[in-house]
Amino acid sequence: MSKEKIFVTKPSMPPLEDFVESLKKIWETGVLTNDGPFHQEFEKQLAEYLGVKYISVFSNGTLALMTALQALNIKGEVITTPYTFVATPNSLIWNNIDPVFCDIDPVYGNMDVDKIEALITPRTTAIMPVHVYGNPCEAEKIESIAKKHNLKIIYDAAHAFAVKKKGNSILNFGDLSVLSFHATKTFNTFEGGAIVSHDSATKTRIDNLKNFGITGEVTVVEPGINAKMNELQSAFGLLQLKEIDANIAKRKLATLLYRKLLKDIEGIRLLEDMADIEHNYSYFPIFINEKFDLTRDGLYEKLKLSNIFTRRYFYPLVSTFSPYNSFASSHKNNLSNAYKLSEEVLCLPISSELSNEQIVFITQAIKK
């Protein structure tokens, strides 16, 4: 048993002294929120770092998802995936939109683009895919379906911070992309999130919506919400940006070591890197099938006994939760790939803080 508990992730943090310097500035100015200097600088540096035109930072990713739907006036039905975190469909329900669950590809777990069109009805207004584990969806095909049927595309890009395809940020795909900076994600601001947009009018609309719809001292243009990122989060995010490349490089080394130690084990499937992708190595999922000595849940429980806390991410499928039963039932037979993957997946610990010794220890515990 490992003396120390190894959790599925451990947040990256900047040096405390640096954050204390930021705190001193906040104490000097007395500006705590409302598009303050750290907020403005963070949006600027973030857009540059990510290679996107416009970004609006939020207090968390879920409010960013909800606001993205408002910003594009999405209504009726939205085609999304059951293989995701529950925030994805919850953001639809909070906007009175019906989620329509589309099955996934059996390898990477992204929405199966060949199954989208059959789900389109006269009420469909948008597609909300997820770049699962940071592996990009088939954006060109999704785009051509959306064009043909006059639908919007909002990507839940919560896993996709800094991921590029042939040098271009995948956050530039679709109409909007939504990020999460939750403590468990590759890039964190304690909690936080963002919407990437592609024109200044849309960014302005989003910025109004996240601040009550207020555009001037005596003007409210629409019923917005309060979803602003505050100065503490923004100052922290600016420091995180200095470390992110080094942290992703550490995650990559961890991934390569895991792959080396776990290759060719009967009953364990690993994910290969997709071609032409600069990855962020945000997760290390393995897929346990019947050829392995233990069931997936058996391995999960056994690793716990060694103080290794993995996660079955995503299990159960969101479409099996009670609020979603009725939406899923009409399509249930078509979600077989999603069911299968959710029964097989186990995400092993990965972070910039994970040591080689810990990885060796984890892989030995799996092989035992």
Binding stretches for ligand PLP (CB under 6 A): 60-62, 84-85, 87-88, 130, 156, 158-159, 180, 182, 191, 193
Least Å distance between CB 86 and ligand PLP? Answer: 8
Q: Which is nearer to ligand PLP, 78 or 262 (CB)?
A: 78
- Quote the CA–CA distance of 178 and 103 in Å, as a whole number: 21
- Quote the CA–CA distance of 103 and 120 in Å, as a whole number: 14
Distances (CA, A) of 196 to 1, 172, 238: 44, 8, 17
Least Å distance between CB 347 and ligand PLP? Answer: 11
Q: Which is nearer to ligand PLP, 139 or 158 (CB)?
A: 158
Give strand ranges (E) for 231-336.
268-270, 277-278, 284-288
The one-letter amino acid at 162? A
Least Å distance between CB 258 and ligand PLP? Answer: 20
Q: Which is nearer to ligand PLP, 63 or 308 (CB)?
A: 63
Least Å distance between CB 322 and ligand PLP? Answer: 20
Least Å distance between CB 313 and ligand PLP? Answer: 8
Least Å distance between CB 58 and ligand PLP? Answer: 8
Least Å distance between CB 88 and ligand PLP? Answer: 5
Q: Which is nearer to ligand PLP, 103 or 191 (CB)?
A: 191
Sign of CA pseudo-dihedral 92, 96, 101, 102: negative
Supply φ then ψ for residue 178, to 5 degrees. -115, 130
Least Å distance between CB 158 and ligand PLP? Answer: 3
ω into 316 cis (within 30 of 0): yes
Q: Which is nearer to ligand PLP, 292 or 315 (CB)?
A: 315
Q: Which is nearer to ligand PLP, 66 or 365 (CB)?
A: 66
Q: Which is nearer to ligand PLP, 39 or 182 (CB)?
A: 182
Distances (CA, A) of 154 to 72, 86, 99: 9, 16, 13
- Quote the CA–CA distance of 341 and 152 in Å, as a whole number: 27
Of 53, 25, 50, nearest to 39 by C-alpha is 25
Q: Which is nearer to ligand PLP, 94 or 361 (CB)?
A: 94
Question: What is the number of the residue whose Cβ is closest to ligand PLP?
Answer: 61
- Quote the CA–CA distance of 115 and 203 in Å, as a whole number: 32
Burial 338-361 (b: 16+ CB within 10 A, else e): bbebbbbbbbbbbbbbbeeebbeb
The helix-helix angle for 231-262 and 16-29 (nearest 10°) equals: 160
- CA max distance for the chain: 68
